[in-house]
Chains A and B, each alone.
Chain A
Amino acid sequence: MRLRNTLATIIIIKLIIIAIIKLVFFPDFLTKKAPDDKAGYVATQILNQ
């Protein structure tokens, strides 16, 4: 039982750390944009317009 609890605790801690890192360091470029705007954003990035 102790082994199961240890592994479950480790997994939960890891997922919390990952979620915090995502929120703090990696802004979301595309989610809030409309589909056409998303394509336009990536086109700007890729074509360097």
Chain B
Amino acid sequence: MHNILLSIDAGTIDWSRAQFALTAIYHWLFVPLTLGLAVIMGIVETKYYVTKDTFWKTAAQFWQRLFGINFAMGVATGIILEFEFGTNWSNYSWFVGDIFGAPLAIEGIVAFFMESTFVAVMYFGWNKVSRGFHLASTWLTGLGATISAWWILVANAWMQYPVGCQFNPDTMRNEMVSFAEVALSPFAVSKFCHTVTSAWIIGGVFCVAVCCWYLLKKRETRLALESMKIGAAVGLVAAVLAAATGHKSAQDVADVQPMKLAAMEALYDGGNGQGLKIVEGIEVPYALSFMATNDFNGYVPGINDLLNGYTRPDGTQEPSADEKIERGKKAIAALADYRKAKAEGADEETVNTHLTTLNENMPYFGYGYVTDKEDLVPPVAVNFWAFRVMVGMGCLFILFFAVILAATCKFPKRLWQKYDVTALPAWHYWTAIALVPLAYIASESGWLVAEFGRQPWTIQDMLPTWVSVSDLQASSVIITFFIFLVLFTTMLAVEINIMLKQIKKGPQS
């Protein structure tokens, strides 16, 4: 790690990165289940509203109880994540100004308050409000959680694809020039669709696993069968949508973060008609080009192309890393000269000259901090394998949900009529239960691809991680890393314990 900030040692940077990664990974254990169970409990309560059968009311209350446990346990990690931007990444937080703060503020004020308000009605409103109002509250709780995810992902997408902003050298902040560009960035839309559908998969897998446990124990059979149909249907739709939105996400990455795509594929020398590697040595011909460009013969640059510069299909030239580094250094020098000239009361022409140089080179500002172009290459092995785990598991889940749905709905009848879903050999149920941790591994792998793939940037092309970090003592970050590790692990153990107790008690508890 090249650190040119003399007052901040490398330990602070790496431990701050590790601390943020730790918090984000733990937070993502709670969030997708909240988003996934929100859909399932909404559908179950809708069944109650339509049929007026108290079985569905009991079932809805059961899933809502599990949702509530997960929601309560996840709150703290989310709060810590937001605080860490200020505590560990204060240079970044100031530099991004209100662009990053706005989506987080909207998330906190609008979405989280909406979620918290209606979650109270959902829990305490049974027999106190009408069935219709209660149903609306349940769906609005889920909608609030989903809108919450939207704003967080808008903030994350802006870091990957900074749009709608202009840098102000006087305040040292990026200022928002278009809220719509930030809020409706195509990168944010794709990221939201892919992330939320992947969360629904986890909800589906969790629901099916709980149902399989009941079938294994030969209890709560009706709840298990009916909920399993819903969980499998939600999961199947989500898994197919996740594949489609993943394709769109890959195209966005190819457009704005080609180095991430090259790292995901361990593609060093690009070209037209590139194949997608299943593993090293086995590939699907032309599939990478199609994934990245929607054209089987499309051009995909490799890592070496991106470092050395290449000619795009439209004939324009992509500068080499060395050229970008040179222009980045010019931008940093121009910013320093501009601020010095202003402070010394220099004439307007001198100030404007520095400002013009800064603006011309600002798109490459972050490259000015890079001393070795190899630092621009993200960890290839992590990206390559995390991507394969995510996609491989995603394909497995499409098959898994399709089989579960077909078996529980007995469709086609001729194929399934001999099978009694409630009396299968135990290993069938255990297999479904074992898929829960695999679903989390797949989902976390997706985030590993997204976040490792954008290294070394905190903000793509604008600010590398080692410039973003706070001037903290490395010891403070190391100590708090381990405090958080213990805290989060304890919280996770407590959640799993409470969740298992509630499942064992069953819907009548």
Residues of A within 8 A of B (CB): 3-4, 6-8, 10-11, 14-15, 17-18, 21-22, 25-27, 29-30, 35, 38-39, 42-43, 45-49
Contact yes or no, B5 A45, CB < 8 A: yes
Complex contacts, A8 vs chain B, CB 8 Å: 72
Evaluate whether A11 and B91 lie within 8 angstroms (CB atoms) in the complex, with A17-B487, A18-B80, A48-B6 already known: no
Contact yes or no, B172 A42, CB < 8 A: yes
Q: Does B467 contact A (CB under 8 A)?
A: yes
- B508 to chain A minimum Cβ distance, whole angstroms, is 14
Complex contacts, B131 vs chain A, CB 8 Å: none
Contact yes or no, B79 A18, CB < 8 A: yes
Q: Is the interface of A mostly helix, strand, loop or mixed?
A: helix
Contact yes or no, B483 A42, CB < 8 A: no
Evaluate whether A11 and B76 lie within 8 angstroms (CB atoms) in the complex, with A39-B170, A46-B172 already known: yes
Task: Tell me, in angstroms, the Cα distance from A16 to B172 when the chains sit together.
Answer: 34
Contact yes or no, B480 A25, CB < 8 A: yes
Q: How many B residues touch A, CB cutoff 8 Å?
A: 43
> For residues 91 through 134 of chain B, which have their beta carbon under 8 Å from a beta carbon of chain A?
91, 94-95, 123
Contact yes or no, B75 A11, CB < 8 A: yes
Contact yes or no, A18 B68, CB < 8 A: no
Contact yes or no, A45 B75, CB < 8 A: no
Evaluate whether A47 and B72 lie within 8 angstroms (CB atoms) in the complex, with A18-B83, A22-B83, A42-B94 already known: no
Evaluate whether A3 and B65 lie within 8 angstroms (CB atoms) in the complex, with A26-B476, A29-B471 already known: yes
Q: List 9 A-B contacts (CB under 8 A).
A: A7-B68, A10-B491, A11-B75, A21-B483, A25-B476, A39-B172, A47-B332, A47-B335, A48-B6
- B199 to chain A minimum Cβ distance, whole angstroms, is 21
Complex contacts, A35 vs chain B, CB 8 Å: 171
Evaluate whether A49 and B90 lie within 8 angstroms (CB atoms) in the complex, with A3-B498, A7-B69, A18-B79 already known: no
Convert B311-349 into 0s and 1s, putting 1 for each residue whose CB lies closer than 8 angstroms to a CB of A: 000000000000000000000100110010000000000
Complex contacts, A43 vs chain B, CB 8 Å: 172, 335, 339
Pick the residue among B69, B76, B170 that contacts A14 (CB under 8 A).
B76
Pick the residue among A10, A30, A38 that contacts B494 (CB under 8 A).
A10
- Closest A residue to B473 by CB, please name it: A25
Q: Does B173 contact A (CB under 8 A)?
A: yes
Contact yes or no, A46 B95, CB < 8 A: yes
Contact yes or no, B5 A7, CB < 8 A: no
- Closest A residue to B335 by CB, please name it: A47
Complex contacts, A14 vs chain B, CB 8 Å: 75-76, 487, 491
In the complex, the number of residue pairs spanning A and B with C-beta atoms less than 8 Å apart equals 84
Pick the residue among B76, B94, B336, B487 that contacts A47 (CB under 8 A).
B336
Contact yes or no, B471 A45, CB < 8 A: yes
Complex contacts, A3 vs chain B, CB 8 Å: 65, 69, 498, 502
- Closest A residue to B90 by CB, please name it: A29
Task: Tell me, in angstroms, the Cα distance from A41 to B76 when the chains sit together.
Answer: 30
Known: A10-B73, A38-B94, A42-B172. 18 other contacts (CB 8 A): A3-B65, A3-B69, A3-B502, A7-B73, A7-B498, A14-B76, A17-B483, A18-B76, A18-B83, A22-B83, A26-B476, A30-B90, A39-B170, A42-B94, A43-B172, A45-B471, A46-B172, A47-B339
- Closest B residue to A31 by CB, please name it: B86
Task: Tell me, in angstroms, the Cα distance from A27 to B86 when the chains sit together.
Answer: 10
Contact yes or no, B87 A22, CB < 8 A: yes
Q: Does B278 contact A (CB under 8 A)?
A: no
Task: Tell me, in angstroms, the Cα distance from A21 to B90 when the chains sit together.
Answer: 17
Q: Does B479 contact A (CB under 8 A)?
A: yes
Contact yes or no, A30 B94, CB < 8 A: yes
Q: Does B195 contact A (CB under 8 A)?
A: no
Task: Tell me, in angstroms, the Cα distance from A7 to B501 when the chains sit together.
Answer: 14
Task: Tell me, in angstroms, the Cα distance from A32 to B477 when the chains sit together.
Answer: 22
Contact yes or no, A39 B171, CB < 8 A: yes
> For residues 59 through 79 of chain B, which have their beta carbon under 8 Å from a beta carbon of chain A?
65, 68-69, 72-73, 75-76, 79
Complex contacts, A29 vs chain B, CB 8 Å: 90, 470-471
Complex contacts, B95 vs chain A, CB 8 Å: 42, 46
Complex contacts, A22 vs chain B, CB 8 Å: 83, 87
Q: Does B472 contact A (CB under 8 A)?
A: yes
Complex contacts, A25 vs chain B, CB 8 Å: 87, 476-477, 479-480
Contact yes or no, A15 B76, CB < 8 A: yes
- A3 to chain B minimum Cβ distance, whole angstroms, is 7
- A1 to chain B minimum Cβ distance, whole angstroms, is 12
Complex contacts, B487 vs chain A, CB 8 Å: 14, 17
- Closest A residue to B168 by CB, please name it: A39
Q: Does B4 contact A (CB under 8 A)?
A: yes
- Closest A residue to B476 by CB, please name it: A25
- B482 to chain A minimum Cβ distance, whole angstroms, is 11
Task: Tell me, in angstroms, the Cα distance from A19 to B470 when the chains sit together.
Answer: 19
